[in-house]
A and B are shown apart, each in its own frame.
Chain A
């Protein structure tokens, strides 16, 4: 019953080829009832201007985040979301979106917190689909609500909290996927995103800077398996046995890298620290490393 993998030779080189599909593969399966295509964008109106035929919209802010606490929806909220989109636990969800699939990877990661089994990304995302002249529509599909079970959210396996990261310093690799300017403490926000600031700039001590963009080609597709291994394994010295924590500013760019390490390179122990720099750089007495300064306060003396 399960949906076959995309046999594309580039995908076959990845550790988990079943997690990625090409635009050509998806274009032939728009009517497959076992698949729900979900668009997750940075721009909240983009879906409404035209989307892949049959695709539903899953918005990171409205649908996946709790409306009050800085957290994700609870199990009841997630079940209601899935049900409303016509998704069952057996559905194959193919995510795609704008901005190099940042939010698509984020949505995929959140679905993984709830253990949804078959989640895949569209390689190249929305931009590639449109650049290839493939069909789009403004028709919003009417899907029959399902009975999606209430499943507990697993916050331990692929998600890291601030306390986990404090304990992780010096014990395992931390991958900071922000731009070099943010990593080096020259900026408290991403270039062009000054609204999402932090009171302090720099990075978590011991973190290495591997900007998310290095994992992507200019057209938004992922680099080949060999290219990714050259960056993360040969150059950075990461090994699949490592317990890795990735972070960025609010957890969306690091979802992209989490996807690369977990599904494309097959590292089994990668967690995304979704609090990321907006939490760390605003927290009292957590250690911060900044070029030209000693780490302050010294690691180990910080409040937890």
Chain B
């Protein structure tokens, strides 16, 4: 797992249970805005596993992963997932992202706060990111 993501997982795990959602809300509020060029249709892929319209694009620049998300403010939890992945994976090497375990979030201690079934949305977003990276040529040609 990329060190930045591991740090976030640890940060959640070290936060008292009653404060963990506040941390997730910080990530939700801190999600970087979408660059204007994404206004063009087709650059973002919809994540159908999420209950609200949610879009992600994974690009590769010099072997480094660049992530872009579009998530409405009415869905702060999904935005929070995006904020965690943006902070934890943006700028990581392609291989590191592809090797990130799909259940990386189980160590964050969120399952007591968010229904475990809904929590899997985080893994679904990561799966979309990996699929896009593989489709773009994966580690070999990044």
| A contact set with B: CB distance below 8 Å | 42-46, 48-49, 61-62, 67, 98-99, 192-196
Contact = CB atoms under 8 A, between A and B. Distances in A.
14 contacts: A42-B51, A43-B76, A45-B21, A45-B76, A46-B76, A48-B22, A49-B76, A61-B115, A99-B51, A192-B50, A194-B124, A195-B118, A195-B120, A196-B117
Given A44-B114, A45-B21, A67-B112, A195 B77 contact: no
A48 B117 CA distance: 21
A193 B121 CA distance: 9
B77 A45 contact: yes
Contact of B75 (A43, A61, A195): A43
Nearest to B17: A62
Interface in B94-142: 112-115, 117-118, 120-121, 124
Nearest to A197: B117
Interface of B: 21-22, 24-25, 28, 48-51, 73-78, 80, 112-115, 117-118, 120-121, 124
Given A43-B76, A49-B73, A195-B120, A61 B25 contact: no
Nearest to B47: A192
A49 B51 contact: no
Contacts of A67: 112
B49 A192 contact: yes
A48 B118 CA distance: 18
A192 B118 contact: no
Contacts of A192: 48-51
Given A48-B21, A48-B25, A61-B115, A193 B73 contact: no
Given A44-B77, A45-B25, A195-B118, 7 more contacts: A43-B74, A45-B21, A45-B28, A45-B77, A192-B49, A194-B124, A195-B117
Contact of A49 (B25, B48, B78): B25
Instruction: Name the prevailing secondary structure of the A interface residues.
Output: loop
Contacts of A45: 21, 24-25, 28, 76-77, 80
A48 B76 contact: yes
Contacts of B48: 192, 194
Contacts of A196: 117
A193 B115 contact: no
A49 B77 CA distance: 10
A107 B112 CA distance: 18
Nearest to B29: A49
B76 A62 contact: no
A261 to B, nearest CB: 26
B25 A193 contact: no
- Counting chain A CB atoms within 10 Å of each CB, the highest count among B51, B77, B78, B114 belongs to B51
A67 B114 CA distance: 11
Contacts of B112: 62, 67
Contacts of B76: 43, 45-46, 48-49
B51 to A, nearest CB: 6
Nearest to A130: B74
Contacts of A99: 51
Nearest to A190: B51
A46 B117 CA distance: 18
The 4 closest A-B pairs by CB, nearest first: A45-B76, A195-B120, A195-B117, A61-B115
A44 B113 contact: yes
Contact of B51 (A44, A48, A61, A193): A193
A62 B113 contact: yes
A79 B116 CA distance: 25
A125 to B, nearest CB: 12
- Counting chain A CB atoms within 10 Å of each CB, the highest count among B22, B28, B76 belongs to B76
Nearest to A65: B115
A195 B49 contact: yes
